[in-house]
Structure 1
Amino acid sequence: MKGKYSLKIAVLSLVLTFASCTDLLDVQPRASIDSVTALTTEDAINAAVNGIYDRLQSTNLYGRDLVAIPEALADNGRATNKSGRLNAEYQNQVNAHFIHWQTSYFAINQANLVLDALPKVEKMTQANKDFVEAQALFIRGLLYFELMRAYAYEPSVELKEVSKGGVPLLKSGVVDATQIKLEGRASINDVYESIYADLNNSIAKFTSANKAASAAFANKTAAQAMLSRVALYRGDYANAAKYATDALAAGSVGRFQARDNYVSAWRSANHPESIFEIQYQTNENIGVNTSLQTTYTTLIASGNRTTTGGFGDLVPTKALLDAYESERDSTGKVIVDVRRSMYELGTAGRGTAEIECTKFLGRSGQVNLDNIPVIRVSEMYLNRAEALARTGNVTGALADLNVIRTRAGLPAAKDLAGAALINEILKQRRLELAFEGHRFFDLKRLGLDISKAAPVQSIGFTDFRMLAPLPVREIQANPNLKQNAGY
């Protein structure tokens, strides 16, 4: 990340979220500052915040898993078994699921420590304090939401007979064993209320006196956009629409791209639609085994089938590709959807050549190095379209739906209402956000089954594998923590 400082605080074993003595804040270049003086200066605070962004780059988080695993668990991605990676997730095997519990709580603890320390820091302007606080609140809310998406049910589809609630809410930083609390799982509603509070407070703290907005860092538009997403999952459609509108109106970061720029936007170092994006420096390349590029494609460049790069572990299913080619004109000819251009034939260097996703194809030609859009402008139109459709505003929903359809090269939808309108919005959501980490979570929040082609078995929404298992070591160490059903 930019502007790195050194900061290292050794933390004793935190029974709930940490295993053994570990580095709480670990930022390059390495050096040590003891825990008493670590967060007492503006430089140390800034270093700590940069350390949280570094956590988000983890393979367990946005480096791969929160982007690729939702496609493998659901019906968008098919494992090729060229390296063996993601094959178990594609088959929905027991325990083959998300594993970001510990990494998320490490980052949450870092955010808590920053928030705890801020009031005591001298020689730091209030505007700078507000900017830091806004970022820490945004990231804490974001990570609690990611924990909820993986380990708990959404409020409107909770299976109360088997649900164990939400996740533990930790709001104070831990630096030694005396501060450890064996928290149980908070209620689903309480966790959502906490996420709402963090994101609303983040929005309030992002002011014109803060630094210029950048998709590389948390920003006001990102907080509004994330609150729209959270509200959609909660079934709070009024706020889902409101905050999508706020994010779209802001215009400070993220620009909706025209059809002619759709492909080139994915070839840019920074996606111009990104409202919040995880960015990597050259020395932070995840590498050939687990980067998104190697996960999705064997290609090192579009159209170059002579040189093999990655493994292409997860490729689009026939059902997804068929969906891109499902509309025809009056002559029966398939209408070209520009989004289909993001899928092309890979190399035979790892085995049978497959049609592969090329949304992540190496930033500026640097193989296996991609910045990761977490929130794009296009999602805001889809969030608002769905929210408006579910609250009876057919005209508004159609307008937003058609922003996405016409940009793709499809004719504007007309005369849709009710279930037909919602189904079309969900279809366009699938096609627009495919291989960006949304599909499994969208099916889950709607209480829908996952349909897979034989020989892989489909799984129903009531199957316990819709939730990830909590780490066994956490269950063993904390009697107040209840494991999800089935594990």
Structure 2
Amino acid sequence: MKRNIKLLLGLFFSISLFVSCDLEELPENVDIVGPTSLADLEALLNAGYNNLGWPLGGNAQLYAEINGDNINGPGGLNSDETEIYNRSTSFFNNSIRDNMYRGFYRIVLDANVVLNQIENNLDAIGVTETNARIQEIKGEALLLRAIAHFEVSRFMSHSPGFSSDNSHLGIQYIKEINNAIGQTRGTVAENYADLLSDLKEAESLLNTTNSSDQNYGDKAAAQAYLAKVFFQAGFGPDIATEGSNYQMAYNYADAALMNTSAVFDVNLYQGGATGTERFAGNLLDNNNTESPNVETIFGIVSESIANSKGGTFQRYRTDTSISNTTIRIMQDLYNSIPSTDKRKDLLEEIDGEYFLLKFNKGIFNVPLVHYTEILLIRAEAAAETNSLLLAEDDINSILERAGLSTISGLSQSQLINLIREQRRIELLGEGNRVSDLKRIGIDENSLTIRNAPWNCNGILFQFPATEVFTGFIQNPTGGCN
């Protein structure tokens, strides 16, 4: 299946992939033997792909859902997750939040190691920077670096538009392997400029199909993340000179859907022998026997029990046993889905509680960006720019597949609200909801998330306590009470 991450376990180099407490410098326990061939360099690149599985194999998605309004807690949550649900802003070290944070910067380190080798070690590899595969590897590393930073920024900082000029604090955007200890946080304006720089260069360097392996990063993946970045910037000041944030989100979403070999899966939610699932996978003799769903633009392939990367999603499972660690869904969300909606079958009421069945399997592949998500971005961005007929066409595809009546002639506000409702249902459990609410809150300042203001302190995750040093500014404390 194209545009998915084939996770390779063996690395050519002796690299410890644990990131030390000081994320601003290369950890002392990383021993890099200079690559002497393209195969060696690709082995280094594989570290970044492999490590996507820790934060994005369900951890980041679950913690984001806990912070939003889809999950009914604290039932089903452990103590660390309850802190997230209660929007605590106290400092915790070695908690699940901190480990996820380090997981993303581990990917950043992997990408920066590859980029450093391309910049400084090509003579030993025996190629020049104009070599086509070197250019592609560079594009892949830039894509991985941008993905990791973007995901961290959505947890640790408010969306663009929280301040009139995006001067509010963002994250550390790390571009070197030997940054001086004590790199302070950039502004959101600086962070998003870096994201655009990395992703646009990646887009220019990558082909529609990766020449080394079709399961790795390509042009459509870079364009899909550019669409996500502009979409998140939505109501803030324009982050590029080419056009408004929503117009650019539309343009890149459209480009990604044109360039990908992924297709809109009309068989989702159909059930029976012909029905398909977004998180495809099936266990046979400890191996995954299914290819990723045809909608996947870029994702993680779980090949076997030993190399399964979607484990945290299984906290939703009801097909084994329901326990005090099984995730519950909000009743109001369940009730909002009409009985005629085929997606209602993805949820179940059991003894007065509500559960999500999307991840009821032992092993599956994890789409990180898929056709439906980018289609929904294109639809909402079109509606925001008053291209209502284009938005109607896209959302009608979603409605028709779900077995619902299509629409026409809605006002702009009605259409936007409908698209947002469909986005919540389609992407349930996939970690987008709280970022959507933080984006929408820029425009609708009275918005609340579980009866708390959308911009209260506890909506932001706190930086690890080990990041405290002179000049580093933590996120504010005080929660959401």
**Residue 476 (structure 2) pairs with residue 481 (structure 1):** no
Whole-Å Cα distance in 2 between the matches of residues 480 and 313 of structure 1? 41
Whole-Å Cα distance in 2 between the matches of residues 405 and 314 of structure 1? 27
Equivalent residue, structure 1, for 2:276 = 264
Q: CA deviation at 1:182?
A: 2.1
Residue identity opposite 1:229 in structure 2: K
Whole-Å Cα distance in 1 between the matches of residues 35 and 389 of structure 2? 52
2:341 alignment partner, one of 330, 337, 340: 337
Change (3 A) 1:158 1:195: same
Question: 1:69-468 counterparts in 2 under 5 A?
Answer: 69-79=63-73, 81-82=75-76, 84=78, 86-95=81-90, 98-99=97-98, 100-119=100-119, 120-121=121-122, 122-124=125-127, 126-158=131-163, 164-174=168-178, 179-207=179-207, 210-211=210-211, 214=214, 216-235=215-234, 236-252=245-261, 254-259=262-267, 263-266=275-278, 268-269=280-281, 270-282=292-304, 283-285=306-308, 291-293=312-314, 295-300=315-320, 308=321, 313-325=326-338, 334=339, 336-344=340-348, 354-362=353-361, 367=362, 369-447=363-441, 449-452=447-450, 458-468=451-461
Whole-Å Cα distance in 1 between the matches of residues 385 and 168 of structure 2? 30
Residue identity opposite 1:141 in structure 2: A
Q: CA deviation at 1:142?
A: 0.8
Contact 2:210 2:216 in 1 (8 A): no
Where does structure 1 lack aligned partners over 5 or more consecutive residues?
Answer: 25-33, 301-307, 326-333, 347-351, 453-457
Deviations 1:43-84 (A, max 9, x none): 3211111111122111xx112222112222111111363563
Q: CA deviation at 1:16?
A: 3.9
Q: CA deviation at 1:22?
A: 5.9
Contact 1:39 1:114 in 2 (8 A): no
Deviations 1:146-187 (A, max 9, x none): 1110111111234899x851112221123xxxx534211112
Change (3 A) 1:472 1:224: same
Residue identity opposite 2:35 in structure 1: L
Q: CA deviation at 1:89?
A: 2.8
Say which SS state the counterpart of residue 398 (structure 2) adopts: helix
Q: CA deviation at 1:461?
A: 1.6
Alignment RMSD: 2.9
Change (3 A) 1:422 1:358: same
Q: TM-score, normalised by structure 1?
A: 0.81
Aligned residues: 432
Q: CA deviation at 1:217?
A: 2.3
Whole-Å Cα distance in 2 between the matches of residues 123 and 434 of structure 1? 48
Whole-Å Cα distance in 2 between the matches of residues 312 and 15 of structure 1? 29
Contact 2:279 2:366 in 1 (8 A): no
Whole-Å Cα distance in 2 between the matches of residues 209 and 11 of structure 1? 28
Contact 1:16 1:183 in 2 (8 A): no
Whole-Å Cα distance in 1 between the matches of residues 64 and 150 of structure 2? 15
Deviations 1:86-140 (A, max 9, x none): 3333333445984332222222122111011114332458121122111111011
Whole-Å Cα distance in 1 between the matches of residues 401 and 428 of structure 2? 16
Change (3 A) 1:393 1:101: same
Q: CA deviation at 1:208?
A: 5.9
Equivalent residue, structure 2, for 1:43 = 39
Whole-Å Cα distance in 2 between the matches of residues 11 and 274 of structure 1? 27
Residue identity opposite 1:417 in structure 2: S
Equivalent residue, structure 2, for 1:304 = none
Change (3 A) 1:102 1:19: farther
Change (3 A) 1:93 1:183: closer
Residue identity opposite 1:118 in structure 2: I
Contact 2:267 2:276 in 1 (8 A): no
Contact 1:15 1:180 in 2 (8 A): no
My pick for the range that moved more, 139-148 or 8-17, is 8-17
Where does structure 2 lack aligned partners over 5 or more consecutive residues?
Answer: 1-6, 235-244, 282-291
Whole-Å Cα distance in 2 between the matches of residues 116 and 433 of structure 1? 37
Residue identity opposite 1:484 in structure 2: N
Q: TM-score, normalised by structure 2?
A: 0.82
Equivalent residue, structure 2, for 1:328 = none
Say which SS state the counterpart of residue 264 (structure 1) adopts: coil
Contact 2:280 2:293 in 1 (8 A): yes
Whole-Å Cα distance in 2 between the matches of residues 394 and 83 of structure 1? 41
Residue identity opposite 1:485 in structure 2: P
Contact 1:80 1:312 in 2 (8 A): no
Say which SS state the counterpart of residue 151 (structure 2) adopts: helix
